[in-house]
Chains A and B, each alone.
Chain A
Amino acid sequence: MGKKILVVDDDPDVRSFVLTVLEENQYTPMVACDGVEGLEVIQKEMPDLVILDVLMPRGSGIRLYRHLKTDDALKAIPVIMFTGIALRSFLKSQKVLEAFKGEKIPEPDIYLEKPVEPQELVDAIRKKLD
């Protein structure tokens, strides 16, 4: 049984694509459609890695990411941001939030901008897990 990887993305096309990539590479995939569902699955299943979209309804990826990184029980789980949002915009939003909330959150381990070739995604996962 491969390591557990959770995909949180509201787009069913992205979910099926990532799911297929994970299956093909012998991981155990799990899916969630939004941030709220994502957190539930994480707390229940404690995945080895989370692939996280940024723009999602009901609990955005930004919120879920900040939650993961400030929760002592969950902060060790590596996160790959997987999104159509440019890294620059994402980092800027983080900076604004940090100034606003007065807390410093580490930058995401890996940030992948869609579109991503299956091999790129696999390489990123291997880098974190192996």
Chain B
Amino acid sequence: MSASKILIVDDEPTIVRLLDMSLKSDGYTTCTASSGEEALAVFEKQSPDIVVTDIKMPGMDGLELLKKIKDLDPDKEVIIVTGHGDIDSTITALQYGASDFINKPVRDEALAIALERAESKIRIREQLAAYTQNLEEKVAEATVEIRRRSNFQRLLIHSSHDAIVAFDRDWQIVVYNPEAARIFSKRARDVLNKMTIEDLYPPQLAAHFKKEAKNGTDDREDIPWKEMVLETRDKKQIPVRYATSVLHEKKEFMGIVNFFQDLTEIKRLERELIQSERMAAIGQTVSGLAHYVKNILIGLKGGSYVVNVGFQNDNMEKIKTGWQTIQKNIERVANLTQDMLTYSKERSPEVALCSPDEIVSEVKDLISDFAESNDIEIVTQCEPDLGQMWLDPGTVHRSLLNLVNNAIDACLQEEDPDRRFKVEIRTRKNEDGAAVFEVEDNGCGMDEETKTKLFTPMFSSKGGKGTGLGLLVTKKLVEEHRGTIDIDTRLGYGSVFTVTLPERPETARDQNDK
């Protein structure tokens, strides 16, 4: 604060001059007047911070001047100079709001202290004013902000696509947005601050949330999304997904908030999606099958043509050849039908005590002629013998036959003219005592893409010569046996298929019990 401006008022010019000199030398700015009237005029013109006035003056005296100045500006400080023992005037001056008194004759120290006090009063008042004004501004700002935020939150809750319902500690409904009104088919004005949780929620759900509220102790406990079918009080069934926040303050229960999402539309879309996927799968299946069936038809037509020619020419050889073709294709239809049935029906393994190694040699016998005619060696490696095991012999047989046939096809598709093709069938027990069957070939192998598509329905890498069902059926049989099927393959070098089947004696007993 810059040095104060002081107005000195006294009817004695000497005193005025003395005080004026003294205060100037202390660094104050001064102005002077020799009467009350003059003082008022100077005051209005110069607006001093502090007035030092003699009390006794002709005309307007010090007290009247004090009163007028305080009327003009209550913040100005007025120091009254009085004679000794003038108690009545002193009291009046105090009533008028004088800030200090000094006795005549005016001593420098007394004046200095009075001025300092007056200045500090002014300073405090100024600071207070600044602070108060600042505070008012801050409050105004905060009010705007709070209003804005609360509006924002209200809008947020109002326009949320989730239904939001909140309860206070007495389970009164205090938040209930339009989406909530839609789901629960009750108007906000009938619900807000009128209903409790039991009035809105089905009894079980209300009880559930009340229980959740008791459990919580933290500031806020979020209970993650769950799904349920909400039965509203007007008996509507609505599939919803809901989340809950239990609110606590200082470990005390404050209320809970529920968020509901109506899943009706999503469920409908899901159903449509599943339906369209099913249609697509059927489409794929039908076109894959049509291709395969066409090939069987070609075989049957060709075979019957050859048989006819045989009859016409009385050529037994032709009849035999044609008949073989026909029989082979009848067999293909039979296999296809069986594969389709196996694939489409749930089936539990028919477990019996059987010898896996015997099944391996049966399979080998079945395909050895065909393999030999294509220069493919079939090797079996069954040492040590697995003995008798509780397995479904049908699963073992079909799986192995499928895998060995695939292995032979893989050899036929490989174009390396120098390679000696070999398919090896190995059996062993793993550490868990499960039977492990490995079928390895050194045929064409597979790239990653083919490998990932292996178990896709109707996927075949054999052109029209595969149904695309073989591996799928194998996988299904193996999984129904609670086993696994693994593939290790390298394009151009061959593949190993590993089927692991755990023993299932309990299944055999179940079947016997039935």
Binding site for B on A (CB under 8 A): 10-14, 16-17, 20-21, 23-24, 36, 55, 57-59, 84-85, 114-115, 118
Q: Knowing A16-B321, A115-B297 touch, does A58 contact B305 (C-beta < 8 A)?
A: no
From residue B82, how far is it (CB to closest CB) to chain A in Å?
Answer: 119
- A-chain residues with CB within 8 Å of residue B321 when the two chains form the complex: 16, 20
From residue B412, how far is it (CB to closest CB) to chain A in Å?
Answer: 4
Among A11, A55, A58, A114, the residue within 8 A (CB) of B417 is A58
Closest residue to A35 on the B side, CB-wise?
B415
Question: Does B27 reach chain A (CB closer than 8 Å)?
Answer: no
B412 contacts A21, C-beta separation under 8 Å: no
A13 contacts B294, C-beta separation under 8 Å: no
Question: Does B495 reach chain A (CB closer than 8 Å)?
Answer: no
Q: Knowing A58-B412, A58-B417 touch, does A17 contact B305 (C-beta < 8 A)?
A: yes
Q: Which residues of B from 209 to 245 have beta carbons under 8 Å from A?
A: none
Question: Does B134 reach chain A (CB closer than 8 Å)?
Answer: no
A24 to B306, CA, bound (A): 10
Q: Knowing A14-B298, A20-B318 touch, does A84 contact B463 (C-beta < 8 A)?
A: yes
Closest residue to A55 on the B side, CB-wise?
B463
B415 contacts A57, C-beta separation under 8 Å: yes
28 sample A-B contacts, Cβ–Cβ < 8 Å, listed by A number: A12-B325, A13-B298, A13-B299, A13-B302, A13-B325, A13-B328, A16-B302, A16-B303, A16-B322, A16-B325, A17-B302, A17-B303, A17-B305, A20-B321, A21-B305, A23-B309, A55-B463, A55-B465, A57-B415, A58-B412, A58-B415, A58-B417, A84-B294, A84-B464, A85-B463, A114-B295, A115-B297, A115-B301
Total residues of chain B contacting the partner, CB 8 A:
26
Query: Interface residues of B: mostly helix, strand, loop or mixed?
Result: helix
Question: Does B329 reach chain A (CB closer than 8 Å)?
Answer: yes
A20 to B464, CA, bound (A): 23
Q: Knowing A20-B318, A84-B295 touch, does A13 contact B309 (C-beta < 8 A)?
A: no
Closest residue to B326 on the A side, CB-wise?
A13
- B-chain residues with CB within 8 Å of residue A118 when the two chains form the complex: 305
A13 to B324, CA, bound (A): 9
B294 contacts A17, C-beta separation under 8 Å: no
Contact flags B311-324 to A (C-beta < 8 A → 1, else 0): 00000001001100
Among B306, B413, B417, B464, the residue within 8 A (CB) of A16 is B306
From residue B261, how far is it (CB to closest CB) to chain A in Å?
Answer: 48
A58 to B417, CA, bound (A): 7
A13 to B322, CA, bound (A): 8
Closest residue to B313 on the A side, CB-wise?
A24
Binding site for A on B (CB under 8 A): 291, 294-295, 297-299, 301-303, 305-306, 309, 318, 321-322, 325, 328-329, 412-415, 417, 463-465
Q: Knowing A21-B305, A58-B412 touch, does A114 contact B298 (C-beta < 8 A)?
A: yes
Q: Count chain B CB atoms within 10 A of each CB in A14, A58, A59 and give the residue with the most.
A: A58
A84 to B412, CA, bound (A): 18
- B-chain residues with CB within 8 Å of residue A23 when the two chains form the complex: 309
- A-chain residues with CB within 8 Å of residue B297 when the two chains form the complex: 115
A118 to B276, CA, bound (A): 42
A17 to B295, CA, bound (A): 14
From residue B428, how far is it (CB to closest CB) to chain A in Å?
Answer: 31
B464 contacts A17, C-beta separation under 8 Å: no
- B-chain residues with CB within 8 Å of residue A16 when the two chains form the complex: 302-303, 306, 321-322, 325
From residue A99, how far is it (CB to closest CB) to chain B in Å?
Answer: 21
